[in-house]
Structure 1
């Protein structure tokens, strides 16, 4: 979709003065908008749509809006603006997208803050999410090797024993904005849900290429707990992170007809098949 194909002159009661598609956001095509209202000055916002891709990846915009509304006092998350059946409007956060991971101490301080947010009323069930991705995969990719790997992982779901927390489930540096004053903000809460904090931590470790023991030590400084137990739980979840990523890439290859996703998926399948 090209910028000139933006379809709405008005949305959620606002006049749309300008619209440009945003890069990234692989589960969807988001847009940066300039909005005008008769009751306030012009403002910048992000349009996060409901789309076939977002639905295939288990993204629920209504839940995303509910979570952002529940944590609205939080200084590091975008404020919600409006909700419609077609998508949601959230605050545009000015700043620079991080191009590399902050230090483990900074990342784990942020991770701990997220885990202390109010618990959402819905939970990420990893098997259900994996099956959702699997349903979006092309039949040509769904061969015996993939079926064997799926059978193994579906029968080996880690149980860390840690109580559920609010989890972002995609806390990579690419979802961090450094504001002009230097503070970090976290965007793309579409996968956020209640869940096992050790899975969330494992996803963060993987996305930012952190060393597990170091990350666990910093995490426990801010959140409490035994670094050794945290390290063990994260290690148990890391193969499942690869498993979910593999299914996500296969689904993406089918949804967008893009072989670069299939290449990533096949590399992960080869890794998991010999694990």
Structure 2
């Protein structure tokens, strides 16, 4: 390698990136960060830390994000430093490395979720290098070419029968200094959120001197549970995960029979993933953080039991009312309804109208006053409500509830969470309504309004939704109820999101958008004279039902 070996550089430290969720490893990563999953009895991250310490590298920085508290014990166990990346859910690992930029000198850079058999680390290094693994046949990895000295000359995403960059890297100080400059430049790019730090290396490989360190057979990156099972056979019978045990117990099988696991949705209320047992395919829904305080899973199960014979929803195979875990059959070639497509919007409106026309009765109500009161109290106790005009908006909400009592109609079973993502469009053009966790007795037009605000429709399309539901020009009473539930629904989901944000889940502009629906459609009702003779003395925030 020529003069790159002229002298050895003492390694200053190591930076380990551990912020990500590890979506391809669901359901294990629902309760354990991927880097802390055990391989042969040792968490992958701990093994790397111990290998670094054995090489004399004791200054170790770990960038954390998802389930950040799970890493705190490492401070006492190994003397590491922790850096929190608050944007771990919305930005890729370039942002994590950029947060650790002040520590980049002669530094190792590692991913927490690699398993390394024999340590490649040393107290001194002569040049920058990247661990590379050989892949036989086609691969989607970041494949490299190198010259006779071993210097990487190009990086391409995807290839065949090639070396690819996987695992730890070493940055010498000159490399680090230039790389920090480039990271700052990339952070200002419009699409910076999507970048891996390797993108910077790929784009600037001509000036960033990096050599191949072939670690084939030594460094392991597990893409899914089945790959981990192949390496650590203990996972075939015991994945150390309650959800996997739930599936095995539900079907009376060993965990090894559960295959083809991949995530479907990381939602605001629930997470879900696909799995297979032989030729049968299923979806498992896991309730999200904090939903035990918000959703009565026994009531949800009752709704599913009530509508099961009607063939209007997903096919439930197992529902555990204690945990809220639900298993349904998986449908191929389905998609969510597109609320901005007129035909999909019409199908969505007519499908929920079919449900309403059945006039199903259940004991549970969709008590929007109780829900607003509860979510408001939760958000307020968490000091999460930051709208400066909240007291004035509360006055408007009180008048909205008084209006609701004036125009209320006989209640029937409503979905309560009627969003376009909860309408599956089948290949034959039929729709199926899923996720009935907020269902209860209520005003049917509430479902139309909820659909509109979940899709963040403008007023023109909000009006179209009601027309398609009614099938004719709505009456004044129907317009009033529609705008009323757009306004109340906006406030309900704004408070819900504020509370969820206090738990650490980020919603971006969503709370503001919902809050704006409350104020804008209050104004629309004012224009129509809907509040004539109505006071604002009734208080839904007394934690009372209507």
**TM-score of the alignment, normalized to the shorter chain, above 0.5:** yes
Q: In the alignment, does 2:447 pair up with 1:200?
A: yes
1:61 paired residue number: 297
Q: In the alignment, does 2:498 pair up with 1:250?
A: yes
Note closer, same or farther for the CA distance 1:176–1:265 as it changes in structure 2 (3 Å cut).
same
Note closer, same or farther for the CA distance 1:26–1:51 as it changes in structure 2 (3 Å cut).
closer
1:39 paired residue number: none
Note closer, same or farther for the CA distance 1:273–1:231 as it changes in structure 2 (3 Å cut).
closer
Note closer, same or farther for the CA distance 1:226–1:44 as it changes in structure 2 (3 Å cut).
same
1:73 paired residue number: 309
Q: In the alignment, does 2:477 pair up with 1:215?
A: no
Note closer, same or farther for the CA distance 1:199–1:10 as it changes in structure 2 (3 Å cut).
closer
Residue 31 of structure 1 is aligned with which of 241, 266, 273?
273
Deviation per CA, 1:133-190: give whole Å up to 9, x if none. Answer: 2233231535663344234314531233221111112222222222233322222211
Point out where structure 2 has 5 or more consecutive residues left out of the alignment: 1-20, 29-240, 524-546
| Cα distance, 1:121 vs structure 2 | 1.8
Note closer, same or farther for the CA distance 1:228–1:273 as it changes in structure 2 (3 Å cut).
closer
1:146 paired residue number: 390
Q: In the alignment, does 2:424 pair up with 1:177?
A: yes
Point out where structure 1 has 5 or more consecutive residues left out of the alignment: 37-41
Q: Is the 8 A contact 2:413 2:440 kept in 1?
A: yes
Distance 2:517 2:465 in 1: 24
Residue 98 of structure 1 is aligned with which of 336, 352, 370?
336
| Cα distance, 1:213 vs structure 2 | 4.5
| Cα distance, 1:220 vs structure 2 | 2.8
Distance 1:154 1:241 in 2: 14
Deviation per CA, 1:234-259: give whole Å up to 9, x if none. Answer: 1222211221121122122112342x
Deviation per CA, 1:42-97: give whole Å up to 9, x if none. Answer: 522222234543224x2222222221121112233012212222222223233332
Q: Is the 8 A contact 2:488 2:518 kept in 1?
A: no
TM-score (norm 2): 0.44
2:367 paired residue number: 125
Secondary structure at the counterpart of residue 136 of structure 1:
helix
Distance 2:422 2:266 in 1: 10
Distance 2:329 2:394 in 1: 39
| Cα distance, 1:129 vs structure 2 | 0.7
Q: Which has the larger radius of gyration?
A: 2
| Cα distance, 1:125 vs structure 2 | 0.9
TM-score (norm 1): 0.81
Moved more, 134-143 or 86-95: 134-143
Moved more, 184-193 or 100-109: 100-109
User: What is the count of residue pairs matched by the alignment?
Assistant: 265
Secondary structure at the counterpart of residue 76 of structure 1:
coil
Distance 1:77 1:33 in 2: 20
| Cα distance, 1:270 vs structure 2 | 6.0
| Cα distance, 1:27 vs structure 2 | 0.6
Note closer, same or farther for the CA distance 1:271–1:89 as it changes in structure 2 (3 Å cut).
closer
| Cα distance, 1:225 vs structure 2 | 10
CA RMSD of the aligned region, Å? 2.9
Distance 1:59 1:273 in 2: 27
Distance 1:149 1:81 in 2: 44
Distance 1:204 1:271 in 2: 13
Moved more, 144-153 or 244-253: 144-153
Distance 2:326 2:396 in 1: 38
